[in-house]
Structures are given as C-alpha cells and as structure tokens.
A = this chain, B = another copy of it.
Amino acid sequence: MKKNISDYKALVNEYLQEALPIEPGCFKTLYKAMNYSLEAGGKRIRPILMQLSYEAVGGKGDISRYLCAIEMIHTYSLIHDDLPAMDNDDLRRGIPTNHIVFGEAAAILAGDGLLNLAFEYMLEDALKHGGTERVRAAYILSQASGIKGMIAGQILDIESENKVINLQTLDTIHLHKTGALIAAATKMGAVLGLGTPEEIEILEEYGKDIGKVFQIIDDILDKVSTDKELGKPTGSDVKNHKNTYLSFYSVEECYCIADKLTKRALLSLDNLKGDTTLLAQIAEELIKRRN
C-alpha cells in the first residue's frame, strides 16, 4: 500500500520517541524541558522533506539520526526564540512555551542541549557507518543552522524590529531564518541517498522555493488566522513590530507570489527520475495550510 504524508509524520514521531533522551536521575529538569518541546508536536515538515528527498534519489537505508537532528535543531531554535529576551512568546503549538513551564535557565539549557544533541547524534552515526556522505550531511546542517544561516536570520529579525526595512532585507531574514533549514532538509536527503550533483541541486532549489512559500503563508496566517486555529498567539508580528511580507504586499499579492514559487518548485521536481508524488503534494498543501 502506498504511504501518504501522515505515515511519514508517524514514522518521524516514532524516531523522535526513540531519540528522546532518557532521564538519568539527577538532571531531571533538563531532560523534561528538552522532551517537552520535542514532544510538543508540530508539522515535522523538515524531517519529512528529508526522508522524501532521500527516497526520491533512491535512498533505501536508515537516516533516522539525521531526521531527528534537524527536528532537534528546529525545536531548539523555537525554545530560544520564545525567550523573554527574544520574542517573549507564552504560547507555542497550543501549549505554554518552554520557559513558562520550566523557567528561563532551564529553557536556555534545554535549547543548548538539543543543539548539541543534534550533532552528537549525527556524529555517532557517521562514526559507526563510515563514508563521507553522512559527515557531509551533518556539515550541510551545521551550515544551515549556523551564523551564515538560521542564527543570522534570527539576529537580523530581532534587530529589524521597530525599524522600517526594505523588501531585500526581509527576504534576507526569511531566506536565513526559515529557508536555510528547509533547503538543508531536502539537500541532506539527496546527499544521504547518494543523489547525483544535479539531483542534489534540484532538491535544494525545490527546498528554497517551498521554504519561501512556508514563510509567506506564515506571515499571512499570523494576520488572518485565530489563536485557536494557529496554536500560538496571532498578531504577534504586529505586537513585536516585525516586518512581514504584508508590510509590502496585500494578502492577494502574497498568495500570487507563493503560487508562482509553488509552480516553479513543482516544475523542478519533473527533472527527477524517482517518485516525487508526495514532495509535490507537500508543495501544493503548503500554500493551502491554515495552521
């Protein structure tokens, strides 16, 4: 029977469940805080994209360590992003944010712990299996999550609050803050599946396009959705005086841009020989999402 996207999500959740650090007795708060945010749900879009990209280039082995690693890094970034000194958000995925439950010190350390664990987890696997593609995948993730990737996006985002920025700066923020990790997911999948240089490039470009769609829709939902639908406070962009695509375009124009990007992403998938049905489905659903 053909698998669908929710099967992949279930698979990722299973891997994460196995990866959840087991509390060794004396460091309870740290482990509870890490697991709380890892288990809080979410779309698991990054690991799902990685696994689908892996299969699209013919990968058949177990890359669960890398699926978990990218979700750990995404989760740590949310924990730190929600801190009072950063976005100061109380609600995430429908439940109180990490520092609200465990306090700021534990939330900072839980974030540090997840970031560190992602690399520990991949390095252990790379050491066990040998070969270069696993080291390369870990390196790609480190670049995407680092100071030329996601963290750069975070600082620019924070520094741009309460300021008038231009569209180019907004694009730079999103390309780094959200786009880098999504494009890393598809690229890592292609690398781990031993894809050709062309396949790797196609999947990276697909990731960049849908990453931008993801962010545009995020901006729209923050404005037009309700707290309940979204699982986090809507209007937080306005509250934090953040620039969004809606500072530059109407909702209709945003959907038009997202539509063009989605079409380009779908077109690029045609150049892959493997099965890309679900990658196409994700691209189509991203633009329709309501939370």
Asked whether any CB of chain B lies closer than 8 Å to the CB of A246, the reply is no
**Which residues in window 71-105 of A have CB below 8 A to B?**
76, 80, 83, 85-86, 103-105
**Which residues in window 145-181 of A have CB below 8 A to B?**
145-148, 151-152, 154-156, 158-159, 169, 172
The segment from A114-122, A250-258, A280-288 that touches chain B is A114-122
**Which residues in window 119-139 of A have CB below 8 A to B?**
119-120, 123-124, 126-127, 130, 132, 135-136, 138-139
> B151, A112: Cβ atoms under 8 Å?
yes
> B123, A142: Cβ atoms under 8 Å?
yes
Contact flags A236-273 to B (C-beta < 8 A → 1, else 0): 00000000000000000000000000000000000000
The segment from A6-14, A19-27, A201-209, A214-222 that touches chain B is A19-27
A124 neighbours in B (Cβ, 8 Å): 139
> B109, A155: Cβ atoms under 8 Å?
yes
Distance, CA A287 to CA B86, complexed state (A): 41
Question: How many subunits of this chain does the assembly comprise?
Answer: 2
Distance, CA A31 to CA B151, complexed state (A): 11
User: Quick one: closest B residue to A169, CB to CB?
Assistant: B26
Asked whether any CB of chain B lies closer than 8 Å to the CB of A106, the reply is yes
> B127, A135: Cβ atoms under 8 Å?
yes
Q: How many residues of A contact B (CB 8 A)?
A: 52
Asked whether any CB of chain B lies closer than 8 Å to the CB of A279, the reply is no
User: Quick one: closest B residue to A104, CB to CB?
Assistant: B85
Contact pick for A24, options B86, B103, B138, B148, CB 8 Å = B148
Contact pick for A151, options B83, B109, B119, B154, CB 8 Å = B109
Contact pick for A147, options B27, B83, B132, B146, CB 8 Å = B27
A142 neighbours in B (Cβ, 8 Å): 116, 119-120, 123
Contact pick for A83, options B108, B119, B169, CB 8 Å = B108
Between-chain CB contacts (< 8 Å), 7 pairs: A27-B155, A85-B103, A113-B146, A113-B147, A115-B115, A120-B139, A124-B139
* A-B residue pairs, 4 tightest by C-beta: A85-B104, A120-B142, A123-B139, A30-B155
